[in-house]
Chain A
Amino acid sequence: MAIEVRIPTILRTFTGGAKSVEGSGDTLDALIADLDAQHAGLRDRLVDDAGLRRFINVYLNDEDVRFLGGLSAPVKDGDTVTVLPAVAGGMR
Chain B
Amino acid sequence: MRYDSLLDSIGGTPLVGLPHLSPGPEARLWAKLEDRNPTGSVKDRAALWMVLAAEKEGLLRPGCTILEPTSGNTGISLAMIASLRGYKLVCVMPENTSAERTQLLQMYGASIVYSPAAGGSNEAVRVAKQMAAENPSWVMLYQYGNEANARAHYETTGPEILADLPEITHFVAGLGTTGTLMGTGRYLREHVPGVQIVAAEPRYGELVYGLRNMDEGFVPELYDDTVLTSRFSVSAADALRRTRELVSCEGIFAGISAGCTVHAGLALARRAQDAGERADIVVLVADGGWKYLSTGAYSGTLAEAEARLEGELWA
Q: Do A and B bind each other?
A: yes
A residues adjacent to B (C-beta < 8 A):
8-10, 45, 53-57, 59, 62-64, 66-68, 82, 84-92
Interface stretch (choices B3-11, B182-190, B207-215, B276-284): B207-215
Interchain CB contact under 8 A, A92 and B231? no
Residue in contact with A87 in the complex, picked from B74, B204, B231, B255, CB distance below 8 Å: B204
Q: Looking at the complex, which one of A54, A55, A67, A89 makes contact with B208 (CB distance below 8 Å)?
A: A89
Interface residues of B (CB under 8 A from A): 43, 69-74, 119-122, 124-125, 143-144, 174-177, 199, 202-204, 206, 208-215, 217-220, 225, 228-235, 255-257, 286-287, 314-315
Query: Does the CB pair A62–B218 fall under 8 Å?
Result: no
Chain B residues within 8 Å of A86, by CB: 217-219
Q: Can you pick out 30 interface pairs between chain A and chain B where the beta carbons lie within 8 Å of each other?
A: A8-B209, A9-B206, A10-B209, A10-B210, A54-B217, A54-B219, A55-B215, A55-B218, A56-B217, A59-B232, A62-B232, A63-B233, A64-B232, A66-B225, A67-B225, A67-B228, A67-B231, A82-B233, A86-B218, A87-B122, A89-B120, A89-B121, A89-B122, A90-B121, A91-B72, A91-B255, A91-B286, A91-B314, A92-B70, A92-B72
**With a CB–CB cut-off of 8 A, which chain B residues contact A59?**
232-233
Task: Please name the residue on chain B nearest to A55 by beta carbon.
Answer: B217
Query: Are B74's CB and A92's CB within 8 A?
Result: yes
Chain A residues, Cβ within 8 Å of B212:
10
Q: Among B120, B213, B233, which residue has its beta carbon within 8 angstroms of that of A88?
A: B120
Name A67's contact: one of B72, B210, B215, B229 (CB within 8 Å): B229
Which 7 pairs between the two chains have the least Cβ-Cβ distance? A55-B217, A64-B231, A90-B176, A88-B121, A89-B204, A88-B218, A67-B230
**Would A63 and B213 count as touching, CB distance under 8 A?**
no
**Distance (Å) between the CB of A69 and the closest chain B CB?**
12
Q: Which residue of B lies closest to A10 (CB)?
A: B211
Instruction: Knowing A9-B210, A62-B234, A66-B231 are in contact, say whether A89-B217 is a contact too (CB < 8 A).
Output: no
Known contacts A67-B229, A89-B120, A89-B315; is A53 also within 8 Å of B43 by CB? no
Would B74 and A63 count as touching, CB distance under 8 A? no
Known contacts A63-B230, A63-B231; decide if A45 and B214 are in contact (CB<8 Å): yes
CA distance A89 to B177 in the complex (A): 9
Q: How far apart sit A67 and B314, CA to CA, in the bound complex (Å)?
A: 25
Once bound together, how far apart are the Cα atoms of A8 and B234, in whole Å? Answer: 16
Q: A67-B230, A84-B203 are in contact. Are A92 and B121 (CB under 8 A)?
A: yes
In the bound complex, residues from chain A placing their C-beta under 8 Å from that of B210 are 9-10
- Nearest-Cβ distance from residue B303 to partner chain A, whole angstroms: 19
With most chain B CB atoms within 10 A of its CB, the pick from A45, A62, A86, A91 is A91
Check A90 against B233 for contact (C-beta < 8 Å): no
Which residue among A8, A67, A86, A89 has the maximum number of chain B CB atoms within 10 Å of its CB? A89
Find out whether the CB atom of A91 lies under 8 angstroms from the CB atom of B214: no
